[in-house]
Structure 1
Amino acid sequence: MAEAIIKEEQPAIPVSFFSQKKFMLLWGVTFCSAFSIAIFLFSQSWYIVKTLNMEASLGMVMIASSIPRLLFMAVGGVIADRVSRTKILSVSNLTRSILLGGLLILLGSGEVSVYSFAVFGLVFGILDAFVWPANSALLPMLVEDSQLTRANSIIQTTQQASMIIGPMIGGFLVSWGGYLLSFSVPAVMLLCSAFLSRLINLKPASTDSSGAPGIFASIKEGFSFVKTQPFLIALFISTIFINLSVVGPLMMGLPIFVKTILHGSALDFSYMDGSMAAGMVVSSLVIGFLNVKRYRGMLATAALFSMAAALMLFSQTHFQAGCMAVLFLIGMTFPATNIPILSIFQQLVDRSMLGRLSGLLTMASLGLTPVSYAVTSFFLSNGVSITSIMFGGSCSLLLVNLIVLWKLPVFRKTS
């Protein structure tokens, strides 16, 4: 079974994927869906905080969307191997658009409550569990292996740009046309995304599902397969500890750091957050421009060590300009880690297993994010300072990186 990681020869594809209609359609799907979700999440958060005056309930809505992702992500990965991935994207985005249409009706009748948003979050989370593995597994079917790094860079740059620009657009829409407009625009964009997904129209990765094992047997098969591949073991370990050691302390701790250490304002927090996002965008653009094809494992390894070192430095930096500079560097390490690793992953894994393994990988990362938040909250509630939590997280990530480098050298040697 270990031999399955070497995929079958694919038909030749022209070198420039910009001339490939289906890749450009996928980029259009990514653009419409990423920006629509960013605008929706901003509008939802501001409505709950400003209009309903229930900021304490915002966490309930976020949990409602995160739990189904964790529960269904592995199942979504199996489905992505058996059903047309473009059909999954199309149906999911169409369903989201219809749901937002229902939200507009509730909004017009004045019946929207925080529980309405919790229900929408629950359904959106379930749909995400199917969309994300399908989307990750779709790209290698549209571009040649030599262009995977650049293609992933373009997709991730678009997603990261939506995180910066989307809330700005959402704020403008709320200010100019109110919530009816700010929720209508994402509904229309998701409808466009569903239409573009249908135009890609690719067949399922596995054309013969008559003898396929059951859902849970397929998930178990995916776990068993990971155990046979040293590169995948190292990938899963690194992904798990990035989320445990970095995501919680950094994402949850950043506003606390600004308030308690820098004694800054909300505007200062926005500058800090923007610095990290800018680093992500710049790094994605540079990697895409260079189209790194060799030493990608070494690049990802160096980025992981740089991430740990930068977080350690950030925890000990107590002036805003320095913090912004370090956050920019931290932001750069995320794409420098994710894009090379994802490109290797997509290139090596057989197309028929890419969906379920993408689902397991996403579950390993996103599933542990709430755990990281919980651990961070536990330490904070017991009097541990946010700087100590960040420093401890950087040390644990550094230790895990050293262990992976020592025990699983295939991670850095894979190109």
Structure 2
Amino acid sequence: MTATLIAPPAVAHRDGNVLRWLAAYTSSMIGDSVYYIALSWAAVQAGSPSQAGVVMAVSAVPRALLLLGGGVLADRLGPRKVVIGSDIVRCAAVLAVAALLFLTSPGLWPLAVLGLVFGTVDAVFMPAVGALPARVTTRDQLARVQGMRGLAIRFASVVGGPLGGLGVAVGGAAAAFGLAGLLIAVSVPLLMAVRVRELPADDKAPARGDTAWRDLVAGLRYIRRHRVLAPLMLAIALGDLGFVGPLNVGLALLADERGWGASGMGWVLAGFGVGAGAASLLLTVRGRLPHAGQVAGYAIIAGSVAIGALAYVPTVGAAVGVALLVGLLAGLSGAMCGALLQTQSEPACLGRVTAVSSLVSLGFAPLSMPLSAAAIGVWGTGPVFVVSAALCGLGGVIALSVRDLRRAELPK
């Protein structure tokens, strides 16, 4: 379908074009959640726990290795085409495995292949998803769209798990895979109905070359030389490195140490989710917060203090309250950083910018989880949470120390 120029919408959450994109994104994210439930269940049923762990982790390798190339592809072909193609491939792969599991008992190999396919396609899909909002609305609405996207992610995480469990309960892994494929398939016609904005004639990637490699180098050089994006990437990286370990592995170990149990940990995670959802809702309703760079910096620092305090609260109720505050501040800083990435980047470079940001969050930050677990085993939860909080807070210090990032504003 040929892209057409659209009239500037008044408000994103009342614009049918944006809502079609949001519905497609939400359906795809719910399908992803159901897919991971189906994959984990099928892997556990077909092999040992260690083999199941390998199957679950295999998609991370091609995703990390190919993300930067995926950003180049999104900028070259256009993000909508890439997202549609990615969803078609993911849908076909998931439905093929569903049919295979329904007809036979093939073991682990198709699950491992599916994981590799998903990881490879994700490397292309994720940068394109990040670049697409800039093509479906105007710059002054990108912050509101970022909030809407955050709400969609929270909704998908809440709905996807029970749907995946229901699919497994009704028809086993084959039914759950089939449901995941259908949910991903729903996004395709919705995306085809989304109208996208053409890039202005003078909006070209800096030093764009004739080859994919030169495009990649030009994109990295563009980020490195940008007065806002370069320090923003560093602030995001430090924030993620200090946040991921305590709020994933560290929280489970903390709950076990305090005797809160799985239910207590669930309540703490629920508090975090409510806080993050409230931050997304705030940005969706307001659309723009003044002094975005300062808000991001102060929110990162305040959130890091809350992360450190989480290790010292005495009761589950207090932990839930602190986690709600962590979610609110992390959600606010994450939304501000995401909105600044969207609005500060040239649309022709946004795929590569999103790819670098995704590589930081999905490639480097998860490395802190085994390190956090090992450190807690040696020094305990309190010191590790405090060190992680200090690392996270350093990202906020950078955001406030670099003048251009501190003074960055969202478009009016």
Q: Structure 2 length normalisation: TM-score?
A: 0.90
- CA contact under 8 A between 1:82 and 1:204: conserved in structure 2? no
1:227 aligns with 2:221: no
Which residue of structure 1 aligns with residue 344 of structure 2? Answer: 348
Bigger shift: residues 186-195 or 167-176: 167-176
Which residue of structure 2 aligns with residue 250 of structure 1? Answer: 247
- CA contact under 8 A between 2:97 and 2:174: conserved in structure 1? no
Letter in 1 for 2:314: H
Which residue of structure 2 aligns with residue 92 of structure 1? Answer: 86
Aligned mates of 1:53, 1:251 — CA distance in 2: 25
1:365 aligns with 2:361: yes
1:309 aligns with 2:305: yes
Which residue of structure 2 aligns with residue 162 of structure 1? Answer: 156
Which residue of structure 2 aligns with residue 241 of structure 1? Answer: 238
- CA contact under 8 A between 2:13 and 2:19: conserved in structure 1? yes
Offset of residue 201 of structure 1? 5.6
Offset of residue 314 of structure 1? 0.3
186, 196, 199: which one aligns with 1:192: 186
Aligned mates of 1:163, 1:304 — CA distance in 2: 23
- CA contact under 8 A between 1:81 and 1:206: conserved in structure 2? no
Residue segments in structure 2 that go unaligned for 5+ positions in a row: none
- CA contact under 8 A between 2:271 and 2:321: conserved in structure 1? yes
- CA contact under 8 A between 1:97 and 1:191: conserved in structure 2? yes
Letter in 2 for 1:321: G
Offset of residue 152 of structure 1? 1.1
Aligned mates of 2:332, 2:135 — CA distance in 1: 23
Which residue of structure 1 aligns with residue 215 of structure 2? Answer: 218
Aligned mates of 1:118, 1:385 — CA distance in 2: 36
Aligned mates of 2:42, 2:329 — CA distance in 1: 34
Offset of residue 117 of structure 1? 2.3
Offset of residue 84 of structure 1? 2.6
15, 35, 38: which one aligns with 2:33: 38
- CA contact under 8 A between 1:81 and 1:353: conserved in structure 2? yes
Which residue of structure 1 aligns with residue 112 of structure 2? Answer: 118
Judged with a 3 Å threshold, the aligned counterparts in structure 2 of structure 1 residues 355 and 122 are, in CA distance, closer, same or farther, namely same
- CA contact under 8 A between 1:84 and 1:204: conserved in structure 2? no
1:146 aligns with 2:143: no
269, 276, 298: which one aligns with 2:265: 269
Letter in 1 for 2:250: G
Judged with a 3 Å threshold, the aligned counterparts in structure 2 of structure 1 residues 55 and 330 are, in CA distance, closer, same or farther, namely farther
Letter in 1 for 2:19: M
Which residue of structure 2 aligns with residue 55 of structure 1? Answer: 49
1:283 aligns with 2:279: yes
Structure 1 SS opposite 2:276: helix
Aligned mates of 1:212, 1:204 — CA distance in 2: 20
- CA contact under 8 A between 2:294 and 2:399: conserved in structure 1? no
Structure 2 SS opposite 1:352: helix
Judged with a 3 Å threshold, the aligned counterparts in structure 2 of structure 1 residues 243 and 400 are, in CA distance, closer, same or farther, namely closer
Aligned mates of 1:203, 1:88 — CA distance in 2: 15
Judged with a 3 Å threshold, the aligned counterparts in structure 2 of structure 1 residues 310 and 146 are, in CA distance, closer, same or farther, namely same
RMSD over aligned CA atoms reads 2.3
Q: Deviations over 1:111-158 (max 9, x none)?
A: 243443222122111111111111111101111222211111111111
Letter in 1 for 2:74: A
Q: Structure 1 length normalisation: TM-score?
A: 0.90
- CA contact under 8 A between 2:296 and 2:399: conserved in structure 1? no
Residue segments in structure 1 that go unaligned for 5+ positions in a row: 1-9
Aligned length: 401
Letter in 2 for 1:224: R
1:79 aligns with 2:76: no
Aligned mates of 2:276, 2:370 — CA distance in 1: 25
Letter in 2 for 1:30: Y
Bigger shift: residues 361-370 or 321-330: 361-370
Offset of residue 195 of structure 1? 2.2
Aligned mates of 2:56, 2:107 — CA distance in 1: 15
Aligned mates of 1:20, 1:366 — CA distance in 2: 31
Structure 1 SS opposite 2:58: helix
Which residue of structure 2 aligns with residue 7 of structure 1? Answer: none
Offset of residue 214 of structure 1? 1.7
Offset of residue 110 of structure 1? 3.7
Offset of residue 400 of structure 1? 4.2
Offset of residue 95 of structure 1? 0.9
- CA contact under 8 A between 1:238 and 1:400: conserved in structure 2? yes
Judged with a 3 Å threshold, the aligned counterparts in structure 2 of structure 1 residues 325 and 110 are, in CA distance, closer, same or farther, namely farther
Which residue of structure 2 aligns with residue 391 of structure 1? Answer: 386
- CA contact under 8 A between 1:309 and 1:394: conserved in structure 2? yes
Aligned mates of 2:175, 2:200 — CA distance in 1: 42
Q: Deviations over 1:270-289 (max 9, x none)?
A: 22222211211122112211
